[in-house]
Amino acid sequence: MTEVNEAANARDRAVPDQARPTLRGLDEKQALRCAADVLDEVAWQGAELNPDAITAADFLALL
């Protein structure tokens, strides 16, 4: 191993896990919410639209 590589590895070890987001993007307020609520919300942001949460005009603009 070269000196340069060793120095780089040492830097990586020194920059630690605290830079990694702990809750995968969710803030604490969100983390405290009922898991089912969050999952429900996330599910609707996927392939399917929530017809209760979108106006007819906005929905039909997708067609």
Partner 1 sequence: MLDLASDGPSRPFVSTEVDEMSDTELDGLAFGVIGLDAEGTILRYNLYESRFARLDRNQVLGREFFGEVAPCTAVESFGGRFQRMVSAGSDVAAEHFDFTFDFKFGAQQVSVEIIPFPAIKRYYLLINRQAVGKARLDPPEGGFAVLQSALAPDEAAVGVRRDTLERRFVEVPWSLLAALRSTCERLAPESWQVFCTEWGVQWGRRMAIDLASTALETQNAALRELSMRDVTDLVAESIAGQGWGRPTFDFAAAREGLLIIEVARSVLAEAAPGRAIKRPSEELTMACHLLAGAISAVFSNLAGRRLVAREVACKAAGAPTCSFVLVAASRRATLDEALKKGNRGVDAMRAALLRAPATREDA
Binding residues for partner 1 (CB under 8 A) = 47-49, 51-57, 59-63
Name the helix (H) or strand (E) containing 9: helix 3-14
Please, what is the minimum distance in Å from the beta carbon of residue 9 to partner 1? Answer: 45
CB of 16 to partner 1, least distance (A): 40
Nearer to partner 1, 15 or 61 (CB): 61
- Three-class SS string for 36-51? HHHHHHHHHCCCCCCC
Nearest-approach distance from CB 58 to partner 1, in angstroms: 8
Where is 62: in which H helix or E strand? none
